Amino acid sequence: MAGGSGESNSDNPLPLNVVPLIDVIFCLLLFFMCSFHFKSLEGKMEAWLPADKGQGPSPTKKIQTADLRVDLSWNAAAQRTVRRFGRTEYASDAELGELLKIQFDRNSVATPDIAVPLSIRSEAGVPWNDVMRVMDIARERHLPSIEFVLAGNEFVLPEPVR
């Protein structure tokens, strides 16, 4: 007879059949194992490379834009900051601001999807308030971004040891 151990049915009032439960667990395990994507990281490095360099379908056309760069240097003889845009010196805030806005608008027409930032290069010895004044002029003219460029005397590569 089934269950011939001689025990009464009162000890186990509700027999539990675990075979369907194990079957469902194995089906779920198999499903998750098959749907999981293993990613091999050994020997691979994920990188975002520029589209216009290397082997690509075709080289992209370079668009010539004018650089928006203001160079600040300290004139020790006159005890003042010299502000240059290109080769021209601008002492007036209004002249410098108008020139920056005109040049930015020209770049925006030439390349509407690329906003050329204003680059400020300040040499050592230039007072910080003069740098801030150029930034204020750029903000008054609604230039979207400002970058700072290292001056030639700020970063010098050391000589190699022989």
Per-residue confidence of the chain (162 residues) as pLDDT tens digits?
A: 455 555 556 677 777 888 999 999 999 999 998 888 776 666 666 667 666 666 655 555 555 556 788 888 888 888 888 888 888 888 888 888 888 888 888 877 777 677 778 888 888 788 888 888 888 888 888 888 888 887 665 555 667 776
pTM: 0.52
Question: Cα angle vertex 148, ends 143, 154, to 5°?
Answer: 160
* pLDDT for residue 1: 44
Q: Is residue 118 within 8 Å of 138, Cβ to Cβ? A: yes
How confident is the model at residue 154, as a pLDDT? 56
Helix axes 93-110 and 128-140, enclosed angle (nearest 10): 50
Task: Please say whether the dihedral angle defined by the alpha carbons of residues 125, 126, 129 and 135, taken in this order, is positive or negative.
Answer: negative
Percent of residues in the chain assigned helix, strand, coil, to nearest 5: 30, 15, 55
- Domain 68-149, CATH 3.30.420.270 — does that match? yes
The structural domains of the chain, with segments of one domain joined by +, span: 68-149
Query: Which residue's entry shows tokens 């030439």?
Result: 110
